Structure 1
Amino acid sequence: MFTVTPADGPDQLDDLVALLGQRQFFAEKLDAQVRGRGVLLVGRLDGSPVGDVWVSFSPAPEAEVNRFLPGVPMLVHLEVLSVLRNRGYGTSIIRAAEELVSARGHERIVLGVGVENPAARRLYERLGYAEWPHGTIDTGYHWAGDDGVRRWFPETITMLVKAL
């Protein structure tokens, strides 16, 4: 059985990392969730974590997003284990995020997709997300490897918005 629920808290860190890796990412998001900055939704197959998305209720790191979509929640870092992709789990995680955002009174949701990730973009467009009219954004993200060193990865993204 596949379910999508918010992470219970920092005590889930080892459980998430065991299958999904990314210790620093999950530690940061679980801490941010405790502080009310967002919700880490976890997709579980028969109780084991197989995917996730961060639903951010904080200002976006990109100034353009805050200028054109102030206060609009953002989906960040949707992932599903590679061996389980194309089975509807990512769609289920996104739908759960949309329901969460709508239940909190928001009428729109936004996400950024890398211009070099057309497969993800097709998924989002199939789910009703549309490109905003303000062009691409040159941004990037910090990522900590298994060695614990944080590195900056530049990325050009397109913002996609959905009315809920």
Structure 2
Amino acid sequence: MFTVSPATPDQLDDLVTLLGQRRFFAEKLDAQSRALGVLLVGRLDGRPVGDVWVSFSPAPEAQVNEFLPGVPMLVHLEVISVLRNRGFGTSLIGAAEELVRSRGHERITLGVGIENPDARRLYERLGYAEWAHGTIATGYYWVGDDGARQWFPETITMLVKSLR
């Protein structure tokens, strides 16, 4: 049985065992404790198999804050590779949309890398549409469990969905 629910701090080790990324999950759980977002975890028979961060804080990109102020953002949707294309990612997105809607928001957004057409097709199939403001040159830092920090540049397109 597949379920989606917010992560709790006591689940950190389980998340890391299956999905890795200790620092990412620790940071998101800390941010969740400060009401900056919600880390939703998809579980299959009780074991974590995917996640998505629902951010309620300002985006790191100025253009997003200018054109989509206050719009919650989906970040870091992932499902373990052996379980992809089975509807789990769609279920995680649906749970995220319901969370956002339950908090009174009428739209949701996400950035998708221009080099990730498979993800874009999924989002478009679920009703997300490209915004009219072009691409954004951005990136992210990845901090390994050893503490090494590496910058990964990325060009993204913002997709937006009405939740009405």
1:16 corresponding residue in structure 2: 15
What are the equivalent positions in structure 2 for 1:26-65 lying under 5 Å apart?
A: 26-65=25-64
TM-aligned CA deviation for residue 146 of structure 1: 4.0
Query: Which residue is equivalent to 2:134?
Result: 135
Cα deviation 1:67-89 (Å, max 9, x = unaligned): 00000000000000000000000
Cα deviation 1:111-145 (Å, max 9, x = unaligned): 00000000000000000000000000000001122
How high is the TM-score relative to the length of structure 1?
Answer: 0.98
1:4 counterpart letter in structure 2: V
Unaligned runs of 5+ in 1: none
RMSD of Structure 2 on Structure 1 (CA): 0.6
Measured against aligned partners, the alpha-carbon deviations of 1:22-69 in whole angstroms (never above 9, x if no partner) come to: 000000000000000000000000000000000000000000000000
- Are positions 1:3 and 2:3 aligned together? yes
Give the residue type in structure 1 aligned to 2:91. S
Q: 2:77 maps to which residue? A: 78
Moved over 6 A (4+): none
TM-score by length of structure 2 reads 0.98
Counterpart Cα distance in 2 of 1:143 and 1:11: 23
- Residue 3 of structure 2 aligns with an amino acid whose one-letter code is T
Partner of 1:89: 88
Aligned residues: 163
Return the offset for 1:11.
1.7
Cα separation, 2, equivalents of 1:40 and 1:11: 13
Match of residue 113 from structure 2:
114
* Identical columns (%): 84
* Structure 2, unpaired ranges of 5+: none
Which digits, 9 at most, give the CA deviation of each residue in 1:80-107, with x for residues without a partner?
A: 0000000000000000000000000000
